[in-house]
Structure 1
């Protein structure tokens, strides 16, 4: 039985885009859920120090994961464009080269993270009461980086094929494993942040095993064998050229959030734990725009390969409208009822209040990312990843870090004001994306005139 694929280069736009986006949305929701389960279990059955450790450690690991995911997006775009051009015989070498590239990268990142765990915890100003737990969390998760990398590689292959259902299956199984592992290790054995880290790594390993089984059973819609598993300079170079700017942009954006994390950690254990709770909730708030960003990349890449820029532009408009309709509802609830959400994760009233204060800023950003994330997916699909990197750097270092630092100097310190750095950055990035979109549109019309 062959792997299911989708052709986005003909027929209707909105329904196929929505159909493709929904499994991605559900997969992201489950992925966010098993990260949130870690924090919920630790918040209910461990200490505030464990909550802070999971918050800081998971944010650091998310930064590393974002670099991996950015690079694998290069494989998604290249595979999508290759299939859109009708060159199925080149798909196998593309995937084989990508696997070799990411295997080498996983080994390098694992070694660096294991050796530098203590330094990373120090740089992020992990509170003294949570320092040892933070270091242990980082080291255990670093041991699972090979699984994180493999999961993202499989995801890039499936999305490039237009298949968003298989990643949903793998992350669903991983979520179940993580919940069971958290209950046993955190609730029963009382291992706190250490148990949450072990459960997370185990869940990622299971997701990779399931992905391998799916590929072996269903096969791929193009020839692929062991002979394709080697470095090919041309393919590795194109994957790197497409993915490296995305990875650098995602990495630098994550660094900017780590700077904000360090600022908040310096305010004490309550603020640190509160931000950790809010960050997990933010993952849910940003689910819809994130799903459209990923689906937009694959949808646009196929149409670019087929020379259908008109369809790519129409898909962008529909993605923004769909994302905004969800963003209005979710953002309003998070802004006005955030305390109900943060209180679910911790019985500590002070931590819940701090988290709700920070969450209100993200509620504002939820509306803005309904525009920004589909734009980013569109430019990724068109291969304009250098621009994606540029606008991300401007937002992170030109706006987000300076604004958060200035807000943290206002007395009394408000996590809401510190969090407003994020929507301020999004506004600037949207302006840059809009200007670049119209520039490309005008240039395309001139070239076809």
Structure 2
């Protein structure tokens, strides 16, 4: 039995996007469960210093893994576009070339970043009492980059064909495996923070293997024919042209995050622990916004390929409605229960750290509409193939976080850290709104020209 694909080039946009987003959301929630499980188990069983060790390099991990994930998302855009255009031969060739590029890129990234771990942590002013734990956690995470790269690439390809459910089921299995391995490695084998990192890397590797075998066994349009497996430099160039700017967008954004986290690290271990717990909770509750954006990338890509720019605008309006409803709801929940969420990671007697964690969450969720707008517009622009514009929005975020780190944090301390992300979201939106207007007009011109020529 073969798996059917799903087109989003006709029919009402809201139910299409909602149905496509839901499995993505569940998958993102599970992926964040990796981080939640690591932090919660480490914080409860190994203590505040160990929790700070896991979180001291969060922004650096985001820089590297964000680049990988951005490249994967970029590699899947031509797949979505060719699927929307029903050009299945070129689609298969793009998939084959993307896998070869992923193999080379992921190994190179893993080697280079693993060699630079100590330098990175020293540059970020990591406190001496948590340096060793932070180093081993970062080293194992970087060594496992190929697992993360391939899972994200394969799941992105599957989603580009309209199937957002299957990657979720594989991720569900891996999330459960990750939690069990966390407990086994930390409590039974007593491997400390290294055990948490190993559990996460191994679990993502399992997801990647499952996605690979499923993809080629179940999708008829992916089954290679003739010379489809041959490496094609012209397709590789096109994939890199789209994927690298998307990866750089995340990395450029992360540079600002590194500056912000470095400023926070200088405030001491307690602030690092509060930042770690708050970031894990924030990343979890922002999953629906990320998922909505990812759905818009596929939706936009397919409708761009089908020559239907008006459907992209209709999709953005539908996504914006869902985003506003969720942002208001989650803000209410976090304002009422932030301290209780903090207790997942922190002992009740650590009252100062709990208060700082709640402060960070209260400020950030109050600006989630800005984050949701950013996600919808950025991914829609990427799906239409204008990845360089999306990258420049990352530059806006970086500038905002650097300004907050250099000017605001020295004056306001942890309060300044709390306003770092909302300021970055505002700066990004100031760029993305006019950028989308430009892209939308360009798409109409392209479609009009194609109709004249045909």
> Scaled by the length of structure 1, what TM-score is found?
0.95
Give the equivalent residue in structure 1 for 2:427: 428
State which drifts further: 348-357 or 299-308. Answer: 348-357
Structure 2 gap segments, 5+ residues each:
450-454
| Deviation (angstroms), 1:181 | 0.6
Instruction: Tell me what 2:8 maps to.
Output: 8
Match of 1:396 among 398, 413, 417: 398
Change (3 A) 1:445 1:237: closer
Contact 2:398/2:424, CA 8 A, preserved across alignment = yes
Does the C-alpha gap of structure 1 residues 92 and 216 become closer, same or farther in structure 2, counting only changes over 3 Å?
Answer: closer
Partner in structure 2 of residue 367 of structure 1: 369
Query: What is the match of residue 241 of structure 2?
Result: 241
Instruction: Calculate the TM-score normalised by the size of structure 2.
Output: 0.94
For 1:24-80, what per-residue CA distance to the aligned partner results, in whole angstroms no more than 9, with x for missing partners? 000000000121100000010002221111112444223211101111112211001
RMSD: 1.8
1:227-274 CA deviation, whole Å, 9 max, x = no partner? 544431121111111111111111111121111111111110000011
The aligned counterpart of 1:283 is 283
Aligned equivalents of 1:146, 1:435: Cα separation in 2:
36
Report how far residue 143 of structure 1 moved: 2.2
- The structure-2 alpha-carbon separation of the partners of 1:59 and 1:196, relative to structure 1 and needing over 3 Å to count, comes to farther
Unaligned runs of 5+ in 1: none
Partners of 2:441 and 2:217 in 1: CA distance: 47
> What CA distance in whole angstroms lies between the structure 1 residues aligned with 2:134 and 2:308?
49
Q: Deviations over 1:150-186 (max 9, x none)?
A: 1011012111111111110111111011100111112
Deviates more, 1:422-431 or 1:144-153: 422-431
Counting matched residue pairs gives 446
Is 2:425 aligned against 1:438?
Answer: no
Q: Residue 85 of structure 2 aligns with which residue?
A: 85
Contact kept in structure 2, 1:361 and 1:417, CA below 8 Å: no
The range that moved more, 367-376 or 211-220, is 211-220
1:96 corresponds to 2:96 = yes
Single out whichever of 362-371 and 242-251 deviates more from structure 2.
Answer: 362-371
Distance 1:124 1:269 in 2: 13
The SS at the match of 1:86 is coil
Separation (CA, whole Å) in 1 of partners of 2:362 and 2:200: 28
SS of the equivalent of 2:56 reads: helix
Describe how 1:310-329 pairs up with structure 2 within 5 A. 310-329=310-329
Q: 1:117-164 CA distances to partner (integer Å, 9 max, x unpaired)? A: 111211222211110111111111222111111101101211111111
Q: Look up the match of 2:452.
A: none
Please state if 1:106 is matched with 2:103: no
